[in-house]
Structure 1
Amino acid sequence: MFDGIRQYYQELIPKLSDEEWLQLENRLVIESYPKGSLVCREGENCKGVYYIHKGLARLYYTVDGREICTGFAKEGEYLSEYDSFLTQSPASQSMDVLEDTIIINLPYEKMQDLYRNYPIYNQAGRKIAEGLFILISRYNTRLLTLSPEDRYQYIIDNQYHLIQRVPQYMLASFIGISPEHLSRIRKKMIR
C-alpha cells in the first residue's frame, strides 16, 4: 500500500533513511472514499494532505451555486486545500472524489510532529510547497495568457487522463469556459 508514496518521498529526499521513512509511515492514515464523496468541505478545516493511492480527486470553489474547478489529482499525486490545512482555518474550496478513491492522509498534527522531530521532513515539505507553487503559477499563467483552445490543447498534450476520466463540464470549468464553448472547441479540433 505504501510503495508509491515511499517512492515519492525517496525521489524528493534521496537521503531518506529507513528509520525516517518508518516514522512517516507510522503517521499515515489510509482512507477510502466512494465516488462523489467529499474529502474536505468548504467552510470546514482541511484535516490533511492527501496522497492519492488510487482514484481521482478534484478541488473546486462554489460561487453563486456554480462549481469552479481549480485542480485535479490522480494516482501518485498530492491534493489538499493547502491554505486551510496550513493555517487550520475554514477552507474556501471543497475537495471531492470523482471515482472510488483510496487516499493516504498525513493529518496536520502528525505532520507538525514530523517537522519538529525529523528535520529531513522540513526539506520534503519545502519541496512539496515549491512544486505546488510552480503548478499554481503555471496554471494561472495558462489561464491568463492562453486562448481557451490552447488551454484545452495543453490538457490533451500534458494531462490526457483528464479527458478520459473527468466529465466535460468539469473540464470546461477547469479551463475557464462554458461546457458549450468546450464542445465547440472539440468539434473544431476534430475537423
Structure 2
Amino acid sequence: MNHIRHYLEKLAPCSEADWKEFSSRLVQRVFTRKTVLLPTGKTEQHLSFIEKGIIRFYIPGEENDLTFSFAFENSFVSAYDSFLTQLPCTYHVQAITDTVLWSLTYADLQAIYQSTTVGNTIGRLAAEDLFLKKSRRELLLLTQTPEQLYHYLLTEQPHLIAHIPLKYLASYIGITPQALSRIRKRIS
C-alpha cells in the first residue's frame, strides 16, 4: 500500500487520519493474465490502484478487438465512465499480465469524499489526469499517421512497446499486426 500513499502524496498532502480512512477501505484483488476484470454489459464497481500488472481496455470484435487504452503499475484504473454513472460498461477491461489491484468500491469512495479533507482534491486531480490522457490520445489519433503514432510511442511511451503484445499495440494504433510489422521494419 505504500505505492498508493506515495502516489497520493504527489497529488496532495495526506494527513495520517485521511490516509487511515482511505487505506482502511482498500481491498486487494489478484488476477492472472488474460482475466477479464469487467466484461461488456457489467457495471464497474471499483476504482483500483495497480500495484503490479498491465490492464487493457478494448471493444470486442467478431474478427479483431479494438484496443483503446492501457493502464500500468502505480496508476489508477477503472472503467471510469461506468463507475461514475453506475451504468453498464460498453467495453471489456482485461489484465494482460498477472495483476495486483488495491480497490475501493463506489460507495467507499463516496464515503471518503465526505469524511476526509483531501478526498475531493485527489478525486478532482485524478479525473483531470484521466481527461488529459484521453484528450492527448484522441488528438494523436486524429492528427498522426500510424507510422507517426508508432514513432511517438517509441519516444514518449516506450513502456507500451516493451510490455504490450504486438497485436494489442497494432489495435491501439488502429492498424493490423502485419502493417505494424512493416512500420517496425522501416523504422529500425
- Bucket of the pairwise TM-score, normalised by the shorter protein: over 0.9
Identical aligned pairs, as a percentage?
Answer: 36
Letter matched to residue 4 of structure 1: H
- Root mean square deviation, CA, Å: 1.1
**Alignment correspondent of 2:36:** 38
1:115–1:121 contact (8 Å) kept in structure 2: yes
Task: Please list every run of 5 or more consecutive structure 2 residues that lacks an aligned counterpart in the other structure.
Answer: none
Aligned pair partner of 1:178 in 176, 181, 186: 176
Separation (CA, whole Å) in 2 of partners of 1:157 and 1:49: 30
Aligned pair partner of 2:103 in 99, 102, 105: 105
Q: CA deviation at 1:65?
A: 4.9
Secondary structure of the structure 1 residue equivalent to 2:60: strand
Q: CA deviation at 1:160?
A: 1.1
Residues 8-23 of structure 1 mapped to structure 2, 5 A cutoff: 8-14=7-13, 16-23=14-21
**Alignment correspondent of 1:125:** 123
Secondary structure of the structure 2 residue equivalent to 1:99: coil
- Structure 1 runs of 4+ aligned residues shifted over 6 Å read none
Aligned pair partner of 1:76 in 58, 74, 81: 74
Residues 45-84 of structure 1 mapped to structure 2, 5 A cutoff: 45-84=43-82
Separation (CA, whole Å) in 1 of partners of 2:117 and 2:47: 18
**Alignment correspondent of 2:164:** 166
Count matched residues: 188
Secondary structure of the structure 2 residue equivalent to 1:129: helix
Q: CA deviation at 1:64?
A: 3.9
Letter matched to residue 33 of structure 1: F
Q: CA deviation at 1:39?
A: 1.1
Task: Please list every run of 5 or more consecutive structure 1 residues that lacks an aligned counterpart in the other structure.
Answer: none
Separation (CA, whole Å) in 2 of partners of 1:139 and 1:64: 25
1:72–1:79 contact (8 Å) kept in structure 2: no
Separation (CA, whole Å) in 2 of partners of 1:134 and 1:94: 22
Q: CA deviation at 1:119?
A: 3.9
Separation (CA, whole Å) in 2 of partners of 1:65 and 1:178: 11
How big is each residue's C-alpha offset from its partner over 1:44-98, in whole Å with a ceiling of 9 and x where there is no partner? 0011112110111111112445311111111101121111001111001111111
Change in Cα spacing, 1:175 to 1:135, as seen in structure 2 (3 Å) is same
Separation (CA, whole Å) in 2 of partners of 1:109 and 1:135: 26
Separation (CA, whole Å) in 2 of partners of 1:80 and 1:122: 17
2:18–2:117 contact (8 Å) kept in structure 1: no
Q: TM (normalized to structure 2)?
A: 0.96
Q: CA deviation at 1:29?
A: 0.8
Separation (CA, whole Å) in 1 of partners of 2:114 and 2:59: 33
Letter matched to residue 154 of structure 2: I
1:172–1:179 contact (8 Å) kept in structure 2: yes
Secondary structure of the structure 2 residue equivalent to 1:66: coil
